[in-house]
Amino acid sequence: MAFFFALVCILISLAIASYVHYSRRRKGKGQGHGGYGGHEKASLKLPPGSMGWPYLGETLQLYSQDPNVFFASKQKRYGEIFKTHLLGCPCVMLASPEAARFVLVTQAHLFKPTYPRSKERMIGPSALFFHQGDYHLRLRKLVQGALGPDALRALVPEVEAAVRSTLAAWDGRVMSTFQAMKRLSFEVGIVTIFGGRLDERRKAELRKNYSIVEKGYNSFPNSLPGTLYYKAMQARRRLHGVLSDIMRERRERGEPSSDLLGCLMQSRGDDGAPLLTDEQISDNIIGVLFAAQDTTASVLTWMVKYLHDHPKLLEAVRAEQEAVREATDGGRRPLTWAHTRSMALTHRVILESLRMASIISFTFREAVADVEYKGFLIPKGWKVMPLFRNIHHSPDYFQDPHKFDPSRFQVAPRPNTFLPFGNGLHACPGNELAKLEMLVLIHHLVTGYRWEIVGSSDEIEYSPFPVPKHGLPVRLWRENRTVERKGCESGNVEDIIV
């Protein structure tokens, strides 16, 4: 009942916002294309599609069903470029590799990143992924430097410690895989940002307030006291306060650091002055925490399910990881970056999990000018959404696309057909960190534990990223160290995959 009431409130709000937007455009532009954009060009027309109900568009249709069914049905009816009206905005949807490259790479200057204002306020308006231009380029360079190969090599022991701790806490219990993976991803995010030197009191403050912010992130943006959004904004202010205290303490100690926070604090402009204010640094630290958690946790959850559902593949991955374990003296020595580079089959499992799950189904851009694409007009101000999931699940680019088959990645996919981390200047700068976390988790999971799914795992829920229902409840237990290698007599761990 509460969810239904919230949905009605959202739709009413969207109706009002859409009506205001509609009225302003009619006033400024005249009648135009039925009130949607007001653009007239002699040789161009809007893409095919439907705009849904007046003011509300097709938002209700999108959120009353599996969004993948919604987009797939649209593509089947109208083709790889079509229009709709969602969340108070006219939109053009693009479902081809060429279109994704057009928007994200070759003509990226014509499409700016766009997010709801309420979400920008909650994360922080100076966060990396809300910007383009010089500020974005300088900031991205800093973040990539802190997440580059040298930094990741040093992070492997910290990531491994977080994985061991997560699995040990799970041992012998039934837990939501998604919630366990969220805790793991949060720990890895904290280590990446603060270099493993954050005291437990500060870590607890960050975890407590971040959890409140996260709960309000996708809530109706109502600023009345007591609402989830109001509580989230209050917690966001406290997060900024905690981060300000941490930065002040570092400066007082004169503590240089190569972690992400240190890189941002020590950055300098061309004139030698600090490149970022403390508020800008705080926005970006909170942004990294957001980017590092739910998406990675969702993929990790699906990987646990995919391996469970394919026993022969699981045994092949276990055989590969047992060889790595032997190289670490039976697990008595820590993993290294070189060890993670030797996990070829496991890496393909990760890539196939990213394709199948397609956690980021699409990305939002906004046209900053009238744009022509394949004879169609994309009007200035319209939202533009490359549909990654539709591309990943197309039989034109992946044979038998709904089958989980890591062997397909023995050959590199066609350009622009595999975009789990986006593409272009706004591609996720933390993709290698996410893969490292996945590799280390799989290593310790398959070599040290067994698990079984409790209940049905076929239903999907969206929160907002797709995960198995109830977060995939799993019973985990430490395994007997007597390892069977059935089917691997040839020595080729892929011989037993079907």
Give the CATH number, domain containing residue 178.
1.10.630.10
- What average pLDDT does the segment 386-410 reach? 95
Give the residue numbers of the binding site: 428
Does 218 fall in a domain? no
- What average pLDDT does the segment 227-256 reach? 92
Q: Are residues 299 and 319 in the same domain?
A: yes
Q: Give 39 or 96, the one with higher predicted confidence.
A: 96
Does 95 fall in a domain? yes
Range of weakest confidence among 121-135, 161-175, 200-214, 336-350: 121-135
φ/ψ (deg, to 5) at 55: 75, -45
**CATH at residue 370:** 3.30.43.20
Does 349 fall in a domain? yes
Q: Are residues 100 and 71 in the same domain?
A: yes
Q: Are residues 70 and 8 in the same domain?
A: yes
Does 402 fall in a domain? yes
**Percentage of residues in the chain with pLDDT exceeding 70?**
87
pTM: 0.84
Cα–Cα distance for residue pair 321/341, rounded to 1 Å: 12
Q: Are residues 345 and 368 in the same domain?
A: no
How many distinct structural domains can be found in the chain? 2
Q: Are residues 455 and 327 in the same domain?
A: yes
What is residue 296's predicted lDDT score, i.e. its pLDDT?
Answer: 93
What is residue 430's predicted lDDT score, i.e. its pLDDT?
Answer: 87
Token pair belonging to 470? 């109830």
Q: Are residues 374 and 444 in the same domain?
A: no
**Whether pLDDT at 239 is above 90:** yes
Q: Are residues 81 and 16 in the same domain?
A: yes
| Domain termination residue (choose one: 349, 372, 392) | 392
Q: Are residues 286 and 367 in the same domain?
A: no
**Whether pLDDT at 494 is above 60:** no
340 neighbors 334 (Cβ within 8 angstroms): no
Token pair belonging to 157? 């022991």
Q: Are residues 333 and 424 in the same domain?
A: yes
What is residue 481's predicted lDDT score, i.e. its pLDDT?
Answer: 58
- What average pLDDT does the segment 126-146 reach? 88
- What average pLDDT does the segment 95-115 reach? 93
Does 267 fall in a domain? yes
> Would you say the C-alpha torsion 322, 323, 325, 330 has a positive or negative sign?
positive
Give the residue numbers of the binding site for heme: 428
C-alpha separations of 396 from 82, 363, 369, 400 in Å? 19, 21, 31, 9
Strands 376-378 and 365-367: unpaired
- What average pLDDT does the segment 185-207 reach? 90
Looking at residue 70, its amino acid is F
Q: Are residues 433 and 288 in the same domain?
A: yes
**Percentage of residues in the chain with pLDDT exceeding 90?**
58
**Whether pLDDT at 94 is above 90:** yes
What is residue 270's predicted lDDT score, i.e. its pLDDT?
Answer: 80
What is residue 52's predicted lDDT score, i.e. its pLDDT?
Answer: 85
Q: Are residues 275 and 409 in the same domain?
A: yes
Give CA 188 to chain center in angstroms. Answer: 15
Does 80 fall in a domain? yes
Q: CA nearest 94: which of 104, 78, 80, 106? A: 80
The whole-chain average pLDDT of the chain stands at 85
* Residue-range definition of the domain harbouring residue 84: 2-125+363-392
What is residue 41's predicted lDDT score, i.e. its pLDDT?
Answer: 53
What is residue 1's predicted lDDT score, i.e. its pLDDT?
Answer: 43
**Whether pLDDT at 349 is above 90:** yes
What is residue 413's predicted lDDT score, i.e. its pLDDT?
Answer: 95
Q: Are residues 266 and 332 in the same domain?
A: yes
Q: What is the pLDDT of residues 315-340, one digit of tens each?
A: 999 999 999 999 999 989 999 999 99
Does 447 fall in a domain? yes
Does 244 fall in a domain? no
